[in-house]
Each structure stands twice: as structure tokens, then as C-alpha cells.
Amino acid sequence: MNKENLTYAGGAGALSSSIKFILRDDFIKSSKSLLKLNQVKGCDCPGCAWPDPNPKERSFAEFCENGVKAITYETTKQRASKEFFANNKVKDLAKLEVYELSQKGRLCEPLSYNKQKDIYEAISWDKAFSLIAKHLKKLKTPDDAILYTSGRASNEAAFLYQLFGRLLGTNNFPDCSNMCHESSSVAMNKNIGVGKGTVELEDFKKAKLIMVFGQNPATNHPRMLASLQEARKNGAKILSFNPLKEAGLLGFIHPKDFKSMLFKTPSQISTHYYQVSLGSDMAVLQAVIFYILKHHKTKLDFEFIEKHCHGFEDYEKHILSQDFKNLVKHSSLSKKEIKEIADLYLESDKTICCWAMGLTQQEHGVASIEEVINLLLLKGNIGKSGAGACPVRGHSNVQGDRTVGIDEMPKEDFLKSIDKAFSFKSPRKHGVNVVNAIKVIAKEKNKVFIALGGNFAEAAPDSKLCYAALEACDLSVYISTHINKSHLLCGKSSLILPCLGRTEIDIQSSGKQSLSVEDSMSIVHSSQGRNKPISSFLKSESEIIAKIADATLGKNKIDFLDLISDYDKIREKIEEVLPIFKDYNKKIKNSSGFVLENLASKRIWNTDTKKANFSSNLIPNLKLNSKHLALMTMRSHDQFNTTVYAKDDRYRGIKNKRKIIFINPKDIELLGFKNGDLVDIYSHSKDNIRRSVKGFEIISYDIKQGCAGAYFPEANPLISIEHHDKKSFTPAYKFIDISLKNTK
Ligand code: SF4
């Protein structure tokens, strides 16, 4: 067993790691930037989407270790300049590991791929825009354009992007939401009429019970630990469900708590830790609900159910028709634990359920989330203080991008509104999501692929197929701050367009501009950069999109260049299309921004039945060959999405390596291996295509027996494109059927 994994997060380790990152590059610039991070009139952290506290409660250092890594990554002195590209062929750069590539620094000027020389060369902005326009204008159909968005793009940039795409004639807007919380959006929209969480930070202070499913806050949204710590101090019980023992779910030392730092006295986070098997959360929930309905039905909130819910009787019948013993068996917990969870749930009159990728990235992700909602509805835990549903988003504006129209299946009301505001008829045919985009590009080729941020190739599943698809494009265009693997999968033509980072000043013809973003709790707030851009060639994402649109469509429809002259004009248009943004330009000046209306939290249900819907689902039959394991992909602690800041995973005791696989010591023995063995991993998918990755080191770890964990993107080649949730198309990065062989 790996002895070095910690039993708490934060503390001196987080502090010294933050200092190390600040000191390793441009100390002065990064320190100045950090003092403005998440402050009023400051810069919004480009990391995760966890909300900022009320302005009065913010300290001078309102960021976590991950915030430090994100900022130092942006303020680095390293440059991927045109000289760098002139000296490095694409085929050589493509051999670098994800970490090595991540460290090459900021992009400085627009670049175009020279196929003969196999290098990227500088190109003028005007020529780059003309080339894009030329390709887009000659498309056989607008649906040959695929417009990808990463969750870092601001509301303003995302709104312009979707407007441009719809004017072009397509709804092809795959985005990173398709790979993370799409299952949450699908389930919640159907069940409670809104695809977003229903809680605010204040609710964490009042909750009596918080259930955390498939989440590792210490690495993925570290400031959430401060909210959980405060909830514990206020008496809340916290139940964690995770196949791995994660340090941050066990304990936490707030780096601002001097006494705890000095005496190394962490606060306990989880009062109860349930080490579940991958994919078993849904069976846990159904077993708990079965037990409640069978033995404690009178303790339900029938006033709420009768007034606000639809389908309770059918749901009750469905659950009670299940075999309790079978549910318990598939839950991977004991009957005693199921009863304990049920009792804890019944004891609490204010419960929050939080979840992240452990729940959403399953073949039955939507059904699992529907079960979470069923549980909450039984005691009226939606639309009351201290209670609610909390899907925790991973990227700073992934929620906002969807709100302002990055959606391959837009609602008719939104399209009508766009049509009215801009006097054109937008396309009604649904576009492609990430899974279908890869399939369509791979099959039909000749596409134009434009990526507003992100690293599509490394985020997506089925790497071999995805890489080949990108290389088959007629033109690929990447709007980016740093070089990444996607740039090296060149189509017939490829462009890299360097953009401003969040910390940098954005000046347009009317002067300095601010952006706006929406966090995980629907709070829209502004962000402004203070740093001089690292190169005079950089343009903002909004400016790049506007100039692509102008070159392609001209001014006869909409004057994109006028819209970007002052971002207030873009926000006026967002308000015109989406009335929830009423008085946008006025409210965005509030020190804490403003909260977008969330009807479900007011117990108004925008569903087909106009009530909150109970949903009935059958648990999946997850079986594996006795020599196989169920693999999940996950982040290391020094990683944010596909960006790898360093090769350590401190909370799991890993130093300077990434090609590893975490396995329970009993499984290591049962399978005939030893801790430290090098193995090749083979996946067994329904499409019978043999996929493998080579040379992974076995790490003995406290993970549920039968399960294994490995980092993405290294393990992404193992995932079949067909392995996804059937309703949301979210790739199932969890529960990959694998076997191992010693590396020869
Ligand atoms: S919790 Fe998230 S948003 Fe806040 S500083 Fe850390 S990474 Fe940035």
C-alpha cells in the first residue's frame, strides 16, 4: 500500500506548493496578479467554477493552490514563439508528453502550418482571417463547420461565437460540457426544469446533511473544502461516496488557519465515508430509497410531494418492485450501511447533494442523477434554504457558455429570440455533440474545425479515432493561449490564433473592456485583466471571433466589428435575447455581480408536467470477467483538465510520474502482479476494437476492490467512442473494462 498518501488536504503542503509555483517563474507578475484574483474589479480565476464568497467575506488572498497554478501558467516568461516553431517540426513536438508540451509557454503570434516543411510559420492576422473565410464560404453545407467551445470562454465571446455559427447556418456547437456535466443538464432539465444547481454558498452554512457523490474537491475545486469545513463547524454531517480514499474528503487544514497549520490539526470533512464501486452510486440510491419507502414512508414530505411533484405513486411502485437484496448487492455496500445512509437522510430536514464526474461520466449517468433528484424530492429538499442539488462544474465559465447559447440542441424559445434580435432565421436542425462530432469528422472528412479554447484531442475519448478525425479536416483553427496536442494534429491547413489570457488588459476602440462569467451557482460577475499582454499580436477571443465573422459574412447582416468596439454592446444584445440578463450592464457593476433567476429554487417547475418529476430507472447490470478491473480516468493534483502543471499528485503520494495505475493491494495479488510492476492495459469494449496503452506502473492504493484509476489524457486511448451515456452522450470515462499484462 502506498504509505505516502495524505489523510488531509490544504495545510503546509498547499502553501509550500503555491509558493513553489509562484517562485519558479515570474514572481513579481504572478504575485501582483494573484492579489487581484477573485477580488471585486479583479480577474476571475480561469480555473474551476466554484463561486467566490460575498465581497465582505473575501480576504486579500482569495484563491487556492490551483488558482496559483492557473495564474502562474498564464504569467510565465516561457514563450512558444515563431522561432520556437521554426526550430521544431510538428512530428517531433507531437512525440512530447502532455506535461512537456504544457511547459513550452505562451503563444505569441498567429501561426499557419506549412505541410511541406512540417512546421508552423507566422502569418498575418488579415491573411489568417481571409483563409478561414475562404474555407467557410466554400463549404458544401454550413454543417460541414464544427465549432467547439471550451469552458474558459467569456459570456461575450461565447455569445458572438454562437451568433456567428447560426448566421453561417449551423448548430454544430460541441463543447466541453458534452464531456462533463451534460448528464446533469439532461436529467435536471427533465426532472426539475433547469439544468443547473439550485443552491447558493449560503445554503452550505445552513445544511444539516451534505452528500458528496463522485467528487474530489481538493484537486478539482479546492475552495469547496472551506465551505464543507464551515458546514461541519455548523453541525452538518457529510457523507462521501467514492471508490478512492481521497485526502480532501477525509480532512482539511485551511491555509489561512495559522493554529491548525502550526499544530497540524485538520478538521474532519466526511463524517461518513462510503467506498463504493465504480458505477454503483445508482444502486446505493435505489437501495436507500427502497428502505425509506418500505419502512419510513411517513417521514416523507407529503405536503411538498402532493403540491409540487408528478409521478410519485408510479415511482414508489417501481422501487418497491425491485429486489432489495439485489439492490444492496449492486450497491457494493452492506445492508447496515444502506440503513445508516437512509437514517441519516431522514434525520436531516436540510440536505444538499453534490456531484461531479464520478456520477456524470457513466453509461448510466443521467439515470444516476435522476436518482439523486428523486431522493431530494422525497423530503422536499429543493427550493428551501440549506438544501438542494449542486452539480459542481469544472471550468470557470462552462455554465455561462451554455446559458448564452453554446448548445447543439437549442430550445425553440432561444432561437426565436435570436431571430428577432438579429432579424434572420437561425437553423433549427440539431447540431453535433462531442461524440458525434468525432464520428462525423472521421467519416466524412473535409470539415472545418474551429476551437474556441481547450484541447479537444486530449479531452476527448478514443484518442486514435479522434486524432485521425482532426487530421482529416480541411482546416483546423485553434484559438489558444498555450500550445497543446490538438495543434499538432494538423489538417490540410491549420492555424493557431493566440489570444489574451484572463489576466491581460483587453483594449478595444472604446477603451478597456471587462468580461463576464457565470459560476457553478449561477452568479454572473465581471472580470478584468490588469497585465500588459505578453505580445502585441494577441487579440481577445471576442475580437478574433468578430473578425472571423466579418471576413466570412461581411457587414450586410450584423456589424460584428461594431459589437466588439465596446463589450457593453454585446451584453445589451445578450439581454435582448435572454430576458434573465435584464439590466446586464448595470448589474454587472455590482461588487458581487448578480444571480440569474433559477425557477426550480423558487419551486416553479419548467417541465413538461409543470411539476418536479420523479423518474423510474433500472440499475445497470455491471459485470466483469474475474480477471478484469473497472477503470476510471481522473486528474492528478498538478493538473487542470488537460493542462499538466507538474508531474506530482501530492495527495495520493505520487512524485514525478503520470503513467501509473492505482489498484487495490488485494487485486494486485489476485491478478498475480506486484506493486511497481510495469503493465500494458487493454480495454474490452462492445465494439470489439482492441485498444491498449503501454508501460503503466502499478501503484498499490486504497481504492475499492475491482476498481482501478489512471490519469487522463494518458488513459483516454482505452475508451471506445461508443462508451457513453445513451441519453446525454457524455463519454463514459468511468467503468472501462480492462485487463493487464506485464510490459515486455
Ligand atoms: S477554487 Fe477554483 S476558482 Fe477558486 S481559486 Fe481555486 S481553482 Fe480558482
Angular region, 277: left φ>0, alpha ψ -120 to 50, beta rest: beta
Written as nine digits, the cell of 260 is 491548525
Question: In CATH, what number is assigned to the domain containing residue 459?
Answer: 3.40.50.740
Cell 463519454 -> residue: 731
Residue 154 zone, left/alpha/beta (φ > 0; ψ -120 to 50; rest):
beta
Indicate whether 71 belongs to any domain.
no
Residues 6+ positions from 317 with CB-CB distance below 8 Å: none
Ligand 1 probe mutation, 223, 229, 523, 643, most atoms within 8 A of CB = 223
Determine the atom of ligand 1 nearest the C-alpha atom of 37: 5
- Computed over every residue of the chain, the mean pLDDT equals 96
Mean pLDDT check: name the lowest of 22-26, 91-95, 419-423, 494-498: 22-26
In a shared domain, residues 135 and 256: no
- Cα separation, 186 vs 528, in Å, equals 33
Q: What is the Cα–Cα distance from 433 to 252, expressed in whole angstroms?
A: 38
Q: How many residues does the chain have?
A: 744
- Would residue 54 count as lying in a domain? no
Contact indicator for 21, 266 with CB cutoff of 8 Å = no
25 part of a folded domain: no
* Distance between CA atoms of residues 664 and 703, nearest Å: 5
Tell whether 130 and 150 lie within a shared domain. yes
- Mapped onto helix, strand or coil, the DSSP state of residue 19 is helix
Residue 711 has pLDDT above 60, yes or no: yes
Cell numbers for 220, please give them. 478539482
CA-nearest residue, atom 4 of ligand 1: 63
- How many H helices and E strands in the chain? 31, 31
Containing structural domain, residue 243: 182-391
Query: Torsion over CA of 167, 556, 136 and 545, rounded to 10 degrees?
Result: -70
- What's the distance, CA 737 to chain centroid? 23
Contact 393 CB / ligand 1 (< 6 Å):
no
Asked if residue 521 is part of any domain, the answer here is: yes
Distance of CA 628 to the CA centre of its chain: 29
pLDDT value for 71: 94
**Is the residue at 28 inside a domain?**
no
Outline where DSSP puts E strands in 392-456: 448-452
CATH assignment at residue 386: 3.40.228.10
| 529 CA distance to ligand 1 middle (Å) | 17
Q: Angle at the Cα of 472 (from 450 to 114), degrees rounded to 5?
A: 75
Residue 67 near ligand 1, beta carbon < 6 Å: yes
Proportion of the chain in helix, strand, coil states, percent, rounded to 5: 40, 20, 40
Please tell me if the CB atom of residue 63 comes closer than 6 angstroms to any atom of ligand 1: yes
How many Å lie between the centroid of ligand 1 and the Cα of residue 519? 11
**Model confidence pLDDT, tens digit, residues 8-67:** 999 999 999 999 999 988 899 999 999 999 998 899 988 888 998 888 888 888 899 999
Spacing, Cα 587 to ligand 1 middle (Å)? 23
Does residue 13 form part of some domain? no
Residue 221, ligand 1, Cβ within 6 A: yes
Q: How far is the CA of 35 from the centre of ligand 1 (A)?
A: 14
- Domain assignment present for residue 20? The answer is no
491 vs 303, residue with greater confidence: 303
pLDDT digits (tens, 9 = 90+) for 333-347: 999 999 999 999 999
d(CA 741, CA 744): 9
The answer to whether 632 and 280 are in contact (CB under 8 A) is no
The ligand 1 atom at the shortest distance from the C-alpha of residue 44 is: 3
Is 154 buried (19+), middle (13-18) or exposed (0-12) by CB count in 10 A?
Answer: buried
CA of 481 to the centre of ligand 1 (A): 19
What is the pLDDT at residue 41?
A: 87
Q: How confident is the model at residue 183 (pLDDT cuts 50, 70, 90)?
A: very high
Ligand 1 atom having least distance to the Cα of 66? 7
| Residues paired with 658 in a beta bridge | none
Question: Strands (DSSP E) along 214-255, which ranges?
Answer: 237-241, 251-253
Measured CA to CA, the distance from residue 661 to residue 741 in angstroms comes to: 13
Residue 48 CB–ligand 1 contact under 6 Å:
yes
Non-local (6+) Cβ contacts of 706 within 8 A are 277, 278, 624, 629, 630, 664, 667
pLDDT in tens, 336-395: 999 999 999 999 999 999 999 999 999 999 999 999 999 999 999 999 999 999 999 988
Name the residue of 43, 221, 640 whose CB sits within 8 Å of the most ligand 1 atoms, as the mutation to test its pocket.
221
State whether 582 and 673 are in the same domain. no
Partners of 526 in the β-ladder: 516
User: Using CA atoms, how far apart are residues 18 and 637, in angstroms rounded to an integer?
Assistant: 12
Question: Both 192 and 310 in a single domain?
Answer: yes
> 103 to each of 108, 642, 667, how far by Cα in Å?
15, 12, 36
Query: Distance, CA 64 to ligand 1 centroid (Å)?
Result: 6
Expressed in angstroms and rounded, the spacing between residue 315 Cα and the centre of ligand 1 is: 39
CB 348 within 8 A of CB 208: yes
Say how many Å lie between the CA of residue 350 and the centre of ligand 1.
26
230, exposed or middle or buried, with CB in 10 Å at 0-12, 13-18, 19+? middle
Does ligand 1 come within 6 angstroms of the Cβ of 50? Answer: yes
Nearest CA to ligand 1 atom 2: 48
What single-letter amino acid sits at 62?
A: E
Distance 475 CA to ligand 1 centre (A): 35
CB of 223 within 6 A of ligand 1: the answer is yes
Query: 641: Cβ–Cβ under 8 A, 6 or more apart, which residues?
Result: 176, 394, 395, 454, 455, 459, 635
Å from CA of 738 to ligand 1 middle:
34
| 696 within ligand 1 shell (Cβ under 6 A) | no
| Residue 658 shares a structural domain with residue 717 | yes
- Evaluate: CB of 248 within 6 angstroms of ligand 1: no
Q: Measured in angstroms, how far is the CA atom of residue 222 from the centroid of ligand 1? A: 6
Question: What's the rounded Cα separation, in Å, for the pair 506 and 515?
Answer: 9
Cα 45 to averaged position of ligand 1 atoms, centre (Å): 6
Q: Tens digit of pLDDT for each residue in 196-223?
A: 999 999 999 999 999 999 999 999 999 9
**Residue where a domain stops, chosen among 366, 391, 416:** 391
Q: Are residues 511 and 653 in the same domain?
A: no
Task: Name residue, grid cell 433528484.
Answer: 373
Question: What residues contact 395, with CB distance under 8 A and at least 6 apart?
Answer: 47, 48, 49, 150, 151, 152, 176, 180, 641
CB neighbour list of residue 218: distance below 8 Å, 6 or more residues apart? 9, 10, 225, 246, 247, 248, 249, 252, 637, 651
DSSP string, 522-579: SEEEEE---BPPSSTT-B-HHHHHHHHHHHHH-SSS--HHHHHHSHHHHHHHHHHH-G
Domain boundary among 361, 391, 421: 391
The percentage of residues in the chain with a pLDDT greater than 90, rounded to a whole number, is 92
Q: How confident is the model at residue 1 (pLDDT cuts 50, 70, 90)?
A: very low
Cα 329 to ligand 1 centre (Å): 38
Buried residues in 5-14 as b, exposed as e (16+ CB within 10 A)? bbebbbbebb
Mutation to probe ligand 1, out of 34, 36, 39, 48 (largest number of atoms < 8 A from CB): 48
- Residue nearest to ligand 1 atom 3, measured at CA: 48
Residue 420 backbone class (left: φ over 0; alpha: ψ -120 to 50; beta: rest): alpha
Binning pLDDT at 50, 70 and 90, where does residue 5 land? low
Same domain? For 99 and 134 the reply is: yes
Give the H or E element holding residue 464.
helix 463-471
Ligand 1 geometric centre to CA of 102 (Å): 20
Mutate to test the pocket of ligand 1, among 21, 22, 44, 50 (most ligand atoms within 8 A of CB): 50
Domain co-membership, 330 together with 234: yes
Tens of pLDDT, residues 283-325: 999 999 999 999 999 999 999 999 999 999 999 999 999 999 9
> Do 329 and 343 share a domain, yes or no?
yes
CATH number of the domain where residue 668 is located: 2.40.40.20
| Total count of domains within the chain | 3
| Cα of 521 from ligand 1 centre, angstroms | 14
Q: Where among 391, 415, 446 does a domain terminate?
A: 391
Q: Distance, CA 223 to ligand 1 centroid (Å)?
A: 6
From the CA of 62, give the closest atom in ligand 1.
5
> Angle of helix 65-74 relative to helix 11-23, nearest 10 degrees?
10
Pocket lining: 64 vs ligand 1, CB cutoff 6 Å: yes
CA of 522 to the centre of ligand 1 (A): 16
**Distance (Å, whole) CA 461 – CA 731:** 7
**Are 593 and 707 in the same domain?**
no
User: Is 66 touching ligand 1 by the criterion CB < 6 Å?
Assistant: yes
Question: Who's near 127: CB < 8 A, 6+ residues apart?
Answer: 112
Distance CA 236, CA 210 (A): 7
Write down the pTM of the prediction: 0.95
Residue pLDDT, tens place only, 82-109:
999 999 999 999 999 999 999 999 999 9
Q: Atom of ligand 1 at shortest distance to CA of 640?
A: 7
Tell me if 394 CB under 6 Å of ligand 1. Answer: no
Residue type (1 letter), 124: S
Ligand 1: distance of its center to the CA of 206 in Å?
23
| Whether residue 642 sits in one domain with residue 583 | no
Residues 159, 196 within the same domain: no
Q: Which of 21, 66, 392, 639 has most ligand 1 atoms within 8 Å of CB, for mutation?
A: 66
Spatial separation of the C-alpha atoms in residues 170 and 427, rounded to whole Å:
6
Residue 56 lies in a domain: no
| Cα–Cα distance, 365 to 281 (Å, whole number) | 10
CA distance linking residue 61 with residue 130, whole number of Å: 44
**Closest Cα to atom 1 of ligand 1:** 223
Atom number, ligand 1, closest to the C-alpha of residue 222: 1
Atom of ligand 1 nearest to the CA of 63: 5
